Copies of this chain bind each other. A is one copy, B any other.
Amino acid sequence: MIKVGIVGGTGYTGVELLRILAQHPKVKLKEITSRQEAGMAVDELFPSLRKQVTLKFSDPSKANLSKCDLVFFATPNGVAMQQARSLFDAGVLIIDLSADFRIKNIAEWEKWYGMPHACPELVAEAVYGLPELNRKHIKNARLIANPGCYPTAVQLGFLPLIEEGVVDTNQLIADTKSGVSGAGRKAEINTLFSEAADNFKSYAVPGHRHLPEIKQGLSIAAKKEVGLTFVPHLTPMIRGIHATLYAKLTKKVDLQTLYANRYASEPFVDVLPAGKHPETRSVRGSNYCRIAVHRPQDGKIAVILSVTDNLVKGAAGQAVQNMNIMFGFRETLGIEHIPLLP
């Protein structure tokens, strides 16, 4: 049993971490902090946890996080970079679900996130927590930058094509659709039910913060700077990401075999049989990423379809997968939930 703390447990990634960790056989939840809700029982805020979680939110200033073996940051961007240093120095392992340590180029990070970085030296230390790409480094990491939700679905979708060198990496297109929980548990007009239901729209077409994160990952795989057009959309569902990816093929390749081989030993990446279309509910509440590959009319454009649950494989589930790797647990331990369908 390891001792685990969560900083910032009142958002959707926080409650999802709680759902998963409360039944993880190797985890003892010690602390969950919230400035605003300090003293409140966790299950008062989230009645779904009644009879399962008996913790109270603790005041961040009083929480004894340094006694934990591992601390998850489920905080807004800009918080973890303030608090990670002292925990890191105390030998506590850290998994940050926010964006603070994801971008290696500090200037780029500061441009997209609109603030100076408080802890650039730890960025170099951080390991990008996409197990399908970085498993070896994760094993020995002391600080994990847990990937964003779009970046997970998009990178898992593009990686085989790029690693194999069979597409024109100058003109990749990622048309992505997210459920509304991706916007977080924040009081905002845009994501009210009456605004977001029975409605579909794109947003941030001029530039979204996940663009540099995805480009960084794909450029490493391509061993050169890639060109990516990234267009996110909001779709009226709670959970789920659907990435529709377009790439121009430059070589002859059997897409189905390429993907099946690349992910053959991955427990959480599921390549569908030829001709299928993955749907987001087929991963709802689970840590799977399901992928299908198409080449319409046998043309030059490969169309890759990749779905995840943004709160699980796109956040809390992947964080626990990283934890399992770091502590030498079975990688699937505690995250084998079968998707909820219907």
Residue ranges of A at the interface with B (Cβ–Cβ < 8 Å):
12, 15, 19, 22-23, 46-52, 171, 173, 175, 177, 179-181, 183, 185-189, 191-203, 205-207, 227, 229-231, 233, 235-240, 242, 244, 246, 248, 267, 270, 272, 275-286, 288, 290, 294, 296-297, 299-301, 303, 305, 307, 311, 336-342
Most buried by B among A191, A236, A288: A236
On chain B, the residues within 8 Å of A191 by CB distance are 192-194
Q: Within the assembled complex, what's the spacing in Å between the Cα atoms of A191 and B193?
A: 6
Q: Which of B175, B200, B294 touches A280 (beta carbons < 8 Å)?
A: B200
Structural contact, B236 and A235, CB atoms closer than 8 A: yes
Taking the full assembly, how many copies of this chain does it contain?
4
Q: Given A51-B270, A189-B185, A299-B227, are A200 and B177 neighbors across the interface (CB < 8 Å)?
A: yes
Q: Within the assembled complex, what's the spacing in Å between the Cα atoms of A173 and B245?
A: 11
On chain B, the residues within 8 Å of A341 by CB distance are 15, 19, 46, 48
On chain B, the residues within 8 Å of A336 by CB distance are 23
Structural contact, A201 and B280, CB atoms closer than 8 A: yes
Structural contact, A23 and B181, CB atoms closer than 8 A: no
Structural contact, A296 and B177, CB atoms closer than 8 A: no
Structural contact, A305 and B202, CB atoms closer than 8 A: yes
**Chain B min CB distance to A186 (Å):** 8
Contact sample, A vs B, 5 pairs, CB 8 Å cutoff? A185-B195, A195-B342, A229-B296, A231-B296, A246-B246
Q: Within the assembled complex, what's the spacing in Å between the Cα atoms of A305 and B233?
A: 11
On chain B, the residues within 8 Å of A171 by CB distance are 248, 300-301
Structural contact, B19 and A340, CB atoms closer than 8 A: yes
